[in-house]
Structure 1
Amino acid sequence: MLYYAVFTAFAMLAIGSNGKPTISKANEPKRCCIPKQFSAQISTSHGVKLPDGTITASYAYYNFSYDGNRGMVGLKGVSFSIPDQQQSNLWIIENRNDGQIYTIDQGSKQCQKSQMPIQPLSCIPGIQNTATYLHSSTYGYGDKQIIGDTWLVTNNNIVNYATVSRDDLCVPLSGHIFLPSVLTALTTTDFTPKIDDPSIFNIPAECQNAV
Structure 2
Amino acid sequence: MANGGLDTMSLCEQKSALQDLTMSQPSFGIRLVNKYIPFVMKFIILLALLPIFTGAVQKCCTDKQFTAILGEPNQIVKGNFQFTTLAEDFTSKLIATETYSFSPGNSSTKLVRVVQDFNQKKMFVIFDSTSTCTAKDLTYDMPSNCVPDDAEFIGQSYMGFAPNQVNISAFKWKFAGTADLLIMFNDNCVPVVESISGVVGSDPVDKTYTFTNYNTGISDRSVFNIPAYCTQ
TM-score, with structure 2 as normaliser:
0.67
The question of 1:158 aligning with 2:158 is answered no
One-letter amino acid of the structure 2 residue matched with residue 33 of structure 1: C
Alignment of structure 1 residues 60-99 onto 2, 5 Å: 60-78=82-100, 89-99=111-121
One-letter amino acid of the structure 1 residue matched with residue 144 of structure 2: S
Q: Which has the higher contact order (CA 8 A, sep 6+)?
A: 1
The match for 2:35 is: none
Whole-Å Cα distance in 1 between the matches of residues 157 and 98 of structure 2? 30
The match for 1:32 is: 60
The match for 1:129 is: 149
One-letter amino acid of the structure 1 residue matched with residue 229 of structure 2: E
Unaligned runs of 5+ in 1: 15-24, 47-58, 81-86
One-letter amino acid of the structure 2 residue matched with residue 158 of structure 1: A
Indicate conservation of the 8 Å contact 1:9/1:93, yes or no: no
The question of 1:188 aligning with 2:225 is answered no
Indicate conservation of the 8 Å contact 1:29/1:166, yes or no: no
Indicate conservation of the 8 Å contact 2:70/2:86, yes or no: yes
Whole-Å Cα distance in 2 between the matches of residues 79 and 182 of structure 1? 22
The match for 2:29 is: 13
CA distance 1:44–1:201, shift in 2 (3 Å): same
**Please, which of 155, 158, 162 is the counterpart of residue 138 of structure 1?**
158
Higher-Rg structure is: 2
The match for 1:51 is: none
**Please, which of 188, 198, 203 is the counterpart of residue 221 of structure 2?**
198
**TM-superposition CA deviations, 1:157-186 (whole Å, max 9, x none):** 11111112222xx11221111123221211
Indicate conservation of the 8 Å contact 1:43/1:188, yes or no: yes
Indicate conservation of the 8 Å contact 1:92/1:104, yes or no: yes
Indicate conservation of the 8 Å contact 1:65/1:75, yes or no: yes
TM-score, with structure 1 as normaliser:
0.73
Whole-Å Cα distance in 1 between the matches of residues 207 and 126 of structure 2? 20
Shift of 1:37: 0.7
The match for 1:20 is: none
Alignment of structure 1 residues 103-114 onto 2, 5 Å: 103-114=125-136
Whole-Å Cα distance in 1 between the matches of residues 156 and 222 of structure 2? 36
Whole-Å Cα distance in 2 between the matches of residues 190 and 90 of structure 1? 20
Q: Secondary structure at the match of 1:150?
A: strand
CA RMSD of aligned residues (A): 2.9
Q: Secondary structure at the match of 1:108?
A: coil
The match for 2:197 is: 178
Q: Secondary structure at the match of 2:59?
A: coil
Indicate conservation of the 8 Å contact 1:34/1:122, yes or no: no
The alignment of Structure 1 onto Structure 2 pairs a total of residues equal to 178
Unaligned runs of 5+ in 2: 1-16, 31-52, 75-80, 103-108
